[in-house]
Amino acid sequence: MQNSEELKWALLIASMAMLMMAFCMISFVMYYQKRRFEEEKRINEIEKNYNRLLLDTALNSEETERRRIAQDLHDDIGTMLSLTKLSLNQLSKMVENYGNEKDDQIMRKSQSLVEETILHVRRITRDLVPTTLERFGLLEAVGEFVHKLEEGNKLAISFHASPEEFPRQGQKLELTIYRIIQELVNNAIKHASCSRIDINLEINDVLIDLRVIDNGVGFDPDKIKESNLAGLGLLGIESRLAIVNGTVQYEKPEKGGSRAFVQIPVMPVSDSKPEPLHPFRRERVNI
């Protein structure tokens, strides 16, 4: 009888011990899983930040290099071309005095070629470093970019953004938006064979919305991504957006053309007024 009682107690204690172990096991799995997830999340966050920093550095380097090239073009080649133009002007007066018409023609041709080269150098320099963006802001810079494109192409480009509603943003953000607009518009001209491009820029308290719509042949963004056809341009847009936590969506409307929709969170602008950057000053750009 006593053995039976002892057996009952032994059974009960053994079962309770086993149950306790089971409870501990379940709790451990839950705790350990949660901890590993948090750790994994933290590592991913570090990795993401590191990648963002790398991208940021790469883009900064690109901008610095653009500036250096622009500066070299202006300071060295630009100066030399100006001197060449002056020399040619003097030479032209001398040739005029001799009265040889053939020599005079060659001289004028040389002068016009030099002038043309100076203009080209100036244009390349401006393309490399958007001085208007730094001095007058995004809306002016995009307006100038659009105007220049319309001059050279049989293309209607409309740009809608209200200056009152679109205050100046941080330099980095403005440059990002400007480069994205440049890329999207250039893509539309190069690949979409379009005759009209609409650019819309809006801002609210939280987001900056950019819409670039063209009436060209359009493209299927999913197919491009699947077939690894995403060009450097599209990748460049995504890289720039990754730094400012922005997103881009491409759509192919049924009626034709293509539509790019970019959203970027508004960043607080620092109180210190950004020093106006001169394109031809030799210094590292900190965007």
113 binds another protein, rule: CB under 8 A: no
CB neighbour list of residue 176: distance below 8 Å, 6 or more residues apart: 240, 241, 243, 244, 246, 264
User: Which tokens belong to 27?
Assistant: 């709790």
What is the spatial distance between Cα 57 and Cα 215, in angstroms, rounded to a whole number?
Answer: 36
Task: Tell me the sheet residues that pair with 258.
Answer: 214
172 contacts 287 by C-beta, under 8 angstroms: yes
8 binds another protein, rule: CB under 8 A: yes
Residue 49 CB neighbours (<10 A) = 10
Minimum gap (Å) between residue 47 Cβ and another protein: 15
Minimum gap (Å) between residue 73 Cβ and another protein: 53
What is the spatial distance between Cα 218 and Cα 197, in angstroms, rounded to a whole number?
Answer: 12
In the set 19, 43, 94, 217, which binds another protein (CB under 8 A)?
A: 19
In the set 6, 23, 53, 160, which binds another protein (CB under 8 A)?
A: 23
In the set 6, 11, 47, 86, which binds another protein (CB under 8 A)?
A: 11
In the set 1, 2, 4, 227, which binds another protein (CB under 8 A)?
A: 4
In the set 30, 43, 46, 80, which binds another protein (CB under 8 A)?
A: 30
Binding site for another protein (CB under 8 A): 4, 7-8, 11-12, 14-16, 18-19, 21-23, 25-26, 29-30, 32-34, 36-37, 40
